[in-house]
């Protein structure tokens, strides 16, 4: 229902990442898999999560759904250490170890470095063939027929800086991940409690807004998003105010918010 509400195209979803097996992070999968089937999905759906996720979903499918019209591919995630979860030509996704009541991981999305941008006028000026264009975009200089060398810096512009986003859900603050998420452009970190309830946060394996801000500051993050607020509090603005005392560029998020990384 939320995907429909925010106009997310279901056909574009090919990979689903599950941090842990508590109900608020998994119960929606059953209906989503059924909806995919009713919509006539044929493409394989990849599900990444803790080991028991596969058993849980397949048991449900046997009792309630029967055969799907598409394949499910399960990818088990090791939650105790960081590991590569997914990779394509543009992107890497790494798991991040969280500290929660059951095995839990966050996720780091990091773009791969792009090739340099060759200047079109230089291609025309020097008559550069396609083979050499490929090499120049990777950093090679241009050697002219007369032996003169044109430095790469005169032929290209540097690529945009690769972007990175870290998602840390349901966890006590874990300083061990700071080196892994160093200088990410954007960090989402759960903030279930306010600092006045820090003892309760620790006992329930959650974080306060201040603790999330301290971790963002330690990591040198560009922007902090906080969420997963306990319903015991009436004003979400209190979380943002608390975090901003430590990390000014903080936003307390709402469902449907969209943030772009330049």
pLDDT in tens, 239-249: 999 999 999 99
Does 107 share its domain with 124?
no
Number of domains in the chain: 3
Does 243 share its domain with 180?
yes
Does 86 share its domain with 204?
yes
DSSP lists the bridge partners of residue 168 as 189
Extract the tokens encoding 41: 């999905």
Higher pLDDT, residue 135 or 64:
135
Contact 179, 221 (CB under 8 A): no
Out of 24, 51, 141, 176, the active site residue is 24
**Averaged pLDDT score across all residues of the chain:** 94
Report the pLDDT value the prediction gives residue 65, as an integer from 0 to 100.
63
Does 108 share its domain with 171?
yes
Q: Which residues form the domain of 133?
A: 117-157
Active site residue 24: yes
pLDDT at 82 over 90: yes
Mean pLDDT of 1-14: 91
Q: List, for residues 157-167, the tens digit of each pLDDT value.
A: 999 999 999 99
Q: List, for residues 25-75, the tens digit of each pLDDT value.
A: 999 999 999 999 999 999 999 999 998 999 999 888 887 767 889 999 999
Tell me whether strands 250-252 and 105-111 are parallel, antiparallel or unpaired.
unpaired
Does 245 share its domain with 200?
yes
Report the pLDDT value the prediction gives residue 262, as an integer from 0 to 100.
81
Alpha helices in 61-178 (DSSP H): 120-126, 130-137, 152-155
């Amino acid at each position: 229902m939320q995907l429909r509400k925010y106009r997310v195209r279901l056909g574009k979803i090919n990979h689903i990442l599950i941090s842990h097996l508590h109900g608020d992070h998994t119960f929606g999968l059953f209906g989503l898999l059924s909806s995919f089937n009713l919509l006539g999905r044929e493409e394989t759906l990849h599900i990444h999560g803790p080991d028991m996720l596969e058993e849980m979903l397949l048991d449900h499918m046997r009792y309630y759904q029967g055969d799907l019209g598409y394949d499910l591919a399960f990818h088990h995630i090791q939650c105790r250490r960081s590991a590569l979860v997914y990779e394509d030509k543009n992107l890497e996704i790494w798991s991040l170890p969280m500290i929660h009541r059951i095995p839990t991981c966050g996720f780091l999305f990091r773009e791969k470095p792009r090739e340099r941008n060759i200047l079109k006028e230089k291609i025309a000026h020097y008559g550069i063939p396609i083979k050499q264009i490929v090499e120049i975009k990777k950093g090679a200089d241009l050697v002219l027929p007369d032996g003169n060398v044109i430095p790469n810096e005169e032929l290209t512009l540097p690529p945009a800086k690769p972007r990175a986003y870290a998602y840390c859900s349901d966890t006590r603050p874990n300083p061990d991940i700071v080196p892994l998420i160093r200088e990410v452009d954007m960090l989402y970190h759960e903030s279930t409690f306010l600092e006045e309830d820090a003892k309760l946060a620790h006992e329930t394996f959650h974080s306060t807004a201040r603790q999330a801000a301290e971790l963002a500051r330690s990591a040198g993050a560009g922007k902090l998003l906080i969420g997963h607020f306990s319903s015991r509090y009436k004003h979400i603005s209190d979380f943002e105010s608390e975090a901003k005392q430590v990390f000014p560029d903080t936003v307390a998020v709402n469902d449907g918010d969209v943030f772009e990384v330049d």
